[in-house]
Structure 1
């Protein structure tokens, strides 16, 4: 528009010069200079108007409107560019790091890539916002999954800890039960040890008492014998003294029997829980047997000939070694009879019957028939020479556990005590 205006003014000046100067155009060239319309002073005569004033005003108005339109469009474009730049800066702050950077650059435009066309710009922004919305949804889903996994993990951890606590509680209860059992066992062991100690002390007192009696002029206790004339389950004698705990013993006696078959049971010792703690028995057609803690050893003794015989039995818990003597001679020996089993204290010692329960339930078939005397017991193994001396009546040794004393034996059921001289009748009868 500005170019057309200049051309118009040049045309006006050229025409005016032609009129004012009165010169003809003979091929000369004129230099046309752009001069505003109101400042044409070189033209002295303006009698010939170039354009009408209405046309000039219209053109002027058109130029001004076009100029304002251009300025307004320029402002609009500048504002749009500023808006796009601001959005681009905001998007750049949200750009992720790492492997998603390339994807971000592909899905988002920088200022240099923004199209000049406003419609294209709006479309690009729409695509960018849609991409951001999708990424926001993805992030929200990842957050939800993380929350779910995070909530599940503490739940699993709580379950694991709970199971561990239950296991520890179970182990604690088991340990408590074991400690209670050990405590009870320790108490029982302590009580048993105390009982054994008291038994040993009691035995020592009895030994001291027996020794004191011996030094005070002990009288021979062999002035009586027991007689069991019938095979019945109610004839028996009972020793008043109880036995202490023993790890060895020797028992000796004189007896005479002609009963058949078998002489029966000269003596038996029973304790709670074991009626056959110590038993000497010959019944039926069986040989003479020694029972300790219900374990059996057969003895090569023969006593049913109706004459007096001196017999001794020794035993020790060490390897269960036993020996059997008849009339001062060793007739047999063996081992592994109730090895390492101590003889229990607190039982009942019966003469003439076998006990099926402590102190009773006798069987007539197993009853002793004959005469018995000089029953003595020691808590040690006597030497062979001592046993031989007692068998030939050259010495007398009362038992330190059970001594043959009249006031130490009671008789029941028709069994009788009869006078008997020390070894005189045995030697004379034999």
Structure 2
């Protein structure tokens, strides 16, 4: 069983330009406490996002989960971006506005695999989980602990996700130098990513992450497999003036 442990270091850094160029640098590194936290992003003045400091292996399956609430859904919200060399999109999941609702998208190896319409309300917390399994070319979408959609993309069957890339929440490194309007404008909490445990591990993370949202300081214990990214423990760089804030230990009311 993976348990929540010890202290962590949250690394905070601000970009130095409104439209950053390739190769982001940090102006300041600030260690944080081990208390429950969330991150607020406005995309005002600077492109704001979270970048994880983690060595990503080649993956045959993964599930990521994220609590998010939007305060302005005028533009698409990148939930998860995994890219290589800041130029090549490998996996990305995002929300786009559509009339009075939203669309949940996912692309794997630059091929669309998911497009699901949902209802999305401003200022309300939602728990999003997207899963992919290369062996079966199978995807799943869980929202608030429930399976909302699933399907297959046969042309991607057996194709692994290459390692060595960058994991970002709130923006895409492949777009950051373009000064685009896309970006989460709201708050995020509890981003976790697991791999190597197949569909059962991903479904467990989707359920536990929703129902036991503050267990393990945002990374609830799971019965098998391991976290590749763990909200309270994996070092994060926060760019562009995004604000690290205390979170309340109350699900859906952080």
TM-score interval, normalised by the smaller of the two chains:
0.7 to 0.9
Matches within 5 A, 1:275-314: 275-285=88-98, 287-296=103-112, 297-314=114-131
Q: Say which of 235, 238, 246 aligns to 1:408.
A: 235
Structure ranking higher on relative contact order (CA contacts 8 Å, 6+ apart): 2
1:312: how far off?
1.0
Cα offset, 1:386, TM superposition: 4.7
**Aligned 1:157-236 pairs, distance under 5 A:** 214=3, 217-218=5-6, 223-230=36-43, 234-236=47-49
Residues 256, 371 of structure 1: 8 Å contact kept: yes
Question: Match of 1:193?
Answer: none
Shift in CA distance, 305/388, structure 1 to aligned 2, threshold 3 Å: same
Q: Tell me, what secondary structure is at the counterpart of 1:277?
A: strand
For residues 273 and 405 of structure 1, do their structure 2 counterparts lie closer, same or farther at Cα, with a shift above 3 Å needed?
closer
1:326 matches 2:140: no
**Distance in 2 between residues matched to 1:420 and 1:307, nearest whole Å:** 15
d(CA) in 2 for partners of 1:413, 1:336: 36
Work out the CA distance in 1 between the residues paired with 2:120 and 2:35.
Answer: 21
Unaligned stretches of 5+ residues in structure 2: 9-33
Which structure has more strand as a fraction of its residues?
A: 2
2:252 matches 1:252: no
How many residues matched? 213
1:352 to 163, 166, 170: 170
Give the CA deviation at 1:222: 6.7
SS of 1:260's partner is: coil
Structure ID, larger Rg: 1
Cα–Cα, structure 1 residues 233 and 304, in superposed 2: closer, same or farther, change >3 Å? farther
2:51 is matched with which residue?
A: 238
Select the structure that is richer in helix.
1
- In structure 1, the gaps of 5 or more residues are 1-209
Give me the CA root mean square deviation: 2.9
Distance of 1:317 and 1:264 partners within structure 2: 25
- Output the CA distance in 2 between the equivalents of 1:274 and 1:350: 13
Partner secondary structure for residue 259 of structure 1: coil
Secondary structure in structure 2 of the residue aligned to 1:418: strand
Structure 1 contact 233–353 (Cα < 8 Å) conserved: no
Deviations 1:12-61 (A, max 9, x none): xxxxxxxxxxxxxxxxxxxxxxxxxxxxxxxxxxxxxxxxxxxxxxxxxx
- CA distance in 1: counterparts of 2:183 and 2:149, whole angstroms: 25
Q: Summarize the alignment of residues 119-134 of structure 1 with structure 2, pairs less than 5 Å apart.
A: none
Question: Contact 2:70 / 2:124 at 8 angstroms: preserved in 1?
Answer: yes
Change (3 A) 1:393 1:362: farther
* Residue 391 (str. 1) matches residue 218 (str. 2): no
Alignment correspondent of 2:21: none
Aligned partners of 1:287 and 1:392: how far apart in 2? 24
Distance change in 2, residues 1:385/1:408 (3 Å): closer
Q: Which residue of 2 aligns with 1:373?
A: 189
Moved more, 232-241 or 299-308: 299-308
Structure 2 length-normalised TM: 0.72
Residue of structure 1 equivalent to 2:152: 335
* Cα distance in 2 between the residues matched to 1:356 and 1:428: 32
